[in-house]
Amino acid sequence: MLNNLPPLAPFRPRLLQDLRGYNGEKLARDVGAGATVGIVALPLAMAFAIASGLKPEAGLWTAIIAGFLISALGGTSVQIGGPAGAFIVIVYGIVERYGVANLMIATASAGVLLFLLGLFRLGTLVRYVPVSVVIGFTNGIAVLIALSQVRDWLGLDIAQMPGDFFSQIGTIASHIGSFNPYAFGLGALCVLGLFVWPRLWAVDSQFRRQLDQIDTVSALKATSRLPAPVVALVTLSLAAWALSLPVETIGTRFGGIPQGVPAFELPDFTWATVKQLVTPTLTIAVLGAIESLLCARVADQLSDTPKHDPNQELMAQGVANFVVPFFGGMPATGTIARTVTNIRSGGASPVAGIVHAATLGAVVLLAAPLAQHIPLAVLAGVLLFVAWNMGEWREFGRLKHFSNHYRLMMVSTFLVTIVFDLTVAVELGLVLACVLFVRRQSDIFRAEPLAQTGQQLTYRLYGSLFFGAAAKIDPIVAAVQQSPTAVNVVLEATHLISLDTTGLDALEQLHKAIDKRGGHLRMVGLNEQPRSLMQRSGFAAKLHDGE
């Protein structure tokens, strides 16, 4: 029996393949792209950690350690790994309910689960999640991320935000009297700058065309290569410091960022604790798998590199998520924004991702004390921009073009993600997808009458006769039972695609009704799958003329 099991997926990192024929030109491209992505990752990593209820260094070292491992061991050439916005709501809820120590255990356990999913070649299962469900929970998470940043954006005096959607709204409303206009202004300027900066330097912008006619502004033109989040972070932090604005900063809330490598620590581990963390573990693993493989598919579309290996990617994600908790990190996955930045900056191999981790590590070790001056309102502005870009808001406007099934799955997943949590939303979405799929397939099946005489009824079967469509055989049974004389039934099955055991049972009941009336049942034009099931069950031998 064991010999019939599919072979395990080989552990074959894409880095080994891409290093064949590697040259100086590719190295230069990877170093440039990796350095750019490392700078972009700096504000995002801190913002994701703070929004998740953790210290900023948790996000930074997750981006460094997990980013290195995912690139070095992963199944894609250009994907960048690290903390992601999609995890903010999940991690915040786990920290609030179970504590930071249990988050570490859940993350490590999710890493083991992710590795096993890849090892047993289950990476392709993620593609079975309907796109409507993915869009629904992605938009829901974007709304929750934006809501979680309102406190820091408005500068409200709230010690601890609750994790529940309605409780968050109530808490914000009850503390609106502590509104800080300076924090609001910094956050608004940050969001505005993030929107304007890339458009300002676009090739077809009026500002860029005017600069191209001037030869003395080469230094100014060089700034166009700076990522917008970094420009916003530096300029607004300097402004807040120089003007001594009364706003909360990383230093006032967290005391700054330690300038050194985090110590290796083992969380208190017991099997009793692991049993309590089954739901958080599954949530981290499922979301990590979905996000990383969706990101890998986006990378495949934008890059000329070979297509990703989903199983190898999951194994790399598993290793990264197993390791980072021991250094105080948080869950990690593939990140679309940083991956796209890597591709557009010329990254062509996992070396770019490794350079990204090294760049971020160098910045943290050399410039960590400067981070204490960063206003939290600016980081809130960065995350508000991330939430806006993360959501696929146009899909709501396009709902009128899709079926009611699609609308139901997307809207229900979106609302449940906001009101309850991601796990319930994905479960509901998948259940709805299965139920609606069964209904749609049952609608496709039909038994069309062709000819009816006093002695014979002929029907043509279309589609799949399975448990969801078996009841459509009942009218034929009723017609046989209502016939005053013996009746023969012919089922023309050329267009019968498939048959399951419930459908076979419906045919058995039809045969019994016909036999009881003294008639016989024939099936003609059977395809391979229905014929095989009938022969294995012995039903084929009961049919007239052995059909």
CATH of the domain at 531: 3.30.750.24
What is the average pLDDT across 214-238? 75
Q: Are residues 466 and 358 in the same domain?
A: no
d(CA 377, CA 50): 11
Q: Which residue has the tokens 């499922």?
A: 286
Within a domain: residue 270? yes
- CB 330, CB 107: distance < 8 Å: yes
Q: Are residues 377 and 525 in the same domain?
A: no
Q: Are residues 407 and 342 in the same domain?
A: no
Q: What is the largest CA-CA distance in the chain?
A: 101
Within a domain: residue 260? yes
Q: What is the pTM of this model?
A: 0.82
DSSP 517: T
What is the average pLDDT across 318-332? 95
Q: How high is the pLDDT of residue 49?
A: 93
Helix (H, G, I), strand (E, B), or coil: what is residue 482? helix
What is the average pLDDT across 537-544? 88
Q: Are residues 39 and 110 in the same domain?
A: yes
Q: How high is the pLDDT of residue 308?
A: 92
Q: Which of 442, 458, 478 is the C-terminal boundary of a domain?
A: 442
Q: How high is the pLDDT of residue 3?
A: 53
Q: How high is the pLDDT of residue 1?
A: 42
What is the average pLDDT across 287-303? 89
Tell me the pLDDT band of 301, cut-offs 50, 70 and 90: confident
- Residues spanned by the domain of 526: 445-546
Within a domain: residue 103? yes
Q: For the chain, give the percent of residues with pLDDT over 90.
A: 54
- CB 369, CB 108: distance < 8 Å: no
Within a domain: residue 380? yes
Q: How high is the pLDDT of residue 547?
A: 44
Q: Are residues 303 and 415 in the same domain?
A: no
Q: Which of 70-84, 316-330, 358-372 has the lowest mean pLDDT?
A: 358-372
Tell me the pLDDT band of 2, cut-offs 50, 70 and 90: very low
Higher pLDDT, 14 or 482: 14
d(CA 112, CA 318): 6
Within a domain: residue 136? yes
Q: Which of 155-164, 271-280, 454-463 has the lowest mean pLDDT?
A: 271-280
Q: Are residues 236 and 98 in the same domain?
A: yes
Q: Are residues 363 and 426 in the same domain?
A: no
Q: How high is the pLDDT of residue 513?
A: 92
User: Does residue 546 carry a pLDDT above 50?
Assistant: no
Q: How high is the pLDDT of residue 6?
A: 65
What is the average pLDDT across 211-217? 61
Element (H, E) at 448: strand 446-452
- CB 401, CB 132: distance < 8 Å: no
User: Does residue 23 carry a pLDDT above 80?
Assistant: yes
User: Does residue 508 carry a pLDDT above 50?
Assistant: yes
d(CA 102, CA 115): 20
User: Does residue 452 carry a pLDDT above 60?
Assistant: yes
Q: For the chain, give the percent of residues with pLDDT over 70.
A: 95
Helix (H, G, I), strand (E, B), or coil: what is residue 305? coil
pLDDT per residue as tens digits for the range 128-177: 788 888 889 889 988 988 998 999 999 999 888 887 888 999 999 999 99
- Which of 250-259, 402-411, 461-470 has the highest average model confidence (pLDDT)? 461-470
Domains identified in the chain, total number: 3
Q: Are residues 325 and 337 in the same domain?
A: yes
Helix (H, G, I), strand (E, B), or coil: what is residue 447? strand
Q: How high is the pLDDT of residue 214?
A: 65
User: Does residue 218 carry a pLDDT above 70?
Assistant: no
For the chain, the average pLDDT equals 89
Q: Are residues 346 and 478 in the same domain?
A: no
Q: Are residues 430 and 478 in the same domain?
A: no
Tell me the pLDDT band of 317, cut-offs 50, 70 and 90: very high
Tokens of 249: 């900063």
Higher pLDDT, 377 or 337: 377
Q: How high is the pLDDT of residue 224?
A: 67
- CB 386, CB 145: distance < 8 Å: yes
